[in-house]
Structure 1
Amino acid sequence: MNENTKDISIRPAVNADLPKLAEFLQFLVNAERPFDVTLKEGEIFYYDIQEIILDSKSEVLVIDFNNQIIGCGYAQIRDAKPYQKHEFFGYLGFMYVDPEFRGRGYNNQLINSLKKWVLSQGITEVRLEVYSENEVAVNAYKKAGFEPISTTMRFDISQMNDN
């Protein structure tokens, strides 16, 4: 597909976008399943998308190609931990681009739009979570200027033996 940049826009999500966003959320969950054995089977809703759209401390954006939504993401202002230098930070989540449109810089445009929104809220720290084994996503976020600072680790103690 050979789209024109004028055919692409990044805009705030509206209620009419909810069915497509719910579909994207399930695509995202299915893409993350290989990286997280603790995810339940079936449909999972990490969050209420409509609630995030309505929240004044959040901005949900969609990538629109000729009136078709091909990607999404959100930024949310969150409280930092009391021991951190910053009082608040922008958290990015729900980052998704339709596979047919990947590799064209749209995710980076979306991230930049979300960063600008966070900055417009007077916040300069931006964070996100990504599965460390999801190398494609990790590399995309590094390309967008993010640096890893932590890794969450787990252990299922039901698998321990008494040795």
Structure 2
Amino acid sequence: MGTQIIRPATLQDLPVLSEFLQLLVNAERPFDVTLQEGALIYYDLKELIELDNAELLVIEIDGRLVACGYAQIRPAKTYLIHKEYAHLGFMFVLPEYRGQGLNQQLIEGLKSWVRSRGIKEVRLQVYTENNAAVRAYEKAGFKQILTEMRYELE
């Protein structure tokens, strides 16, 4: 592997991050038959870069963006023991760079940012059938706590 840098995303990264978003959507389509066709926008990437309560990190290798992920501080449900938590999302690594620990590095970087904000709870959502992602998050210490189910009425 060449020279690797983990850094906060900048507005100049938006074109590549927009491509990553569509690659992520396409990777998730097999797990969710309810996703609409065509390009989808899960996140306002510009907003995630500019918000004070969010951190969008990227990894670049030899000057090329190859991975990204964000943490955003959100209010917790009123019945939970914590008032706020950090939600992780947009965890993406280009296929040719997978298996090199980049996702784990992003998670550690995001957890460090979350800790610096005094937040102790980190949550994320992952498709149950996305076994590789589930294993990666479990390796990072995450535990499954809820399964969302659906039923389509005919």
TM-score (norm. length: structure 1): 0.93
Q: Which runs of 5+ in 1 are unaligned?
A: 159-163
Pick one of 132, 135, 143 that aligns with 1:136.
132
Q: 1:4-153 counterparts in 2 under 5 A?
A: 4=2, 7-153=3-149
Please give the alpha-carbon distance, in whole angstroms, between the structure 2 residues aligned to 1:151 and 1:10.
32
Return the offset for 1:80.
0.3
Please give the alpha-carbon distance, in whole angstroms, between the structure 1 residues aligned to 2:36 and 2:72.
25
**RMSD, matched Cα:** 0.6
Identity across the alignment (%): 56
Q: Partner residue of 1:161?
A: none
Larger-Rg structure = 1
SS in 1 for 2:99: coil
Please give the alpha-carbon distance, in whole angstroms, between the structure 2 residues aligned to 1:48 and 1:86.
26
Please give the alpha-carbon distance, in whole angstroms, between the structure 2 residues aligned to 1:110 and 1:76.
14
Please give the alpha-carbon distance, in whole angstroms, between the structure 2 residues aligned to 1:62 and 1:26.
16
TM-score (norm. length: structure 2): 0.99
- The number of residues matched between the two structures is 154
Return the offset for 1:9.
1.2
Return the offset for 1:10.
0.6
SS in 2 for 1:157: coil
Return the offset for 1:67.
1.0
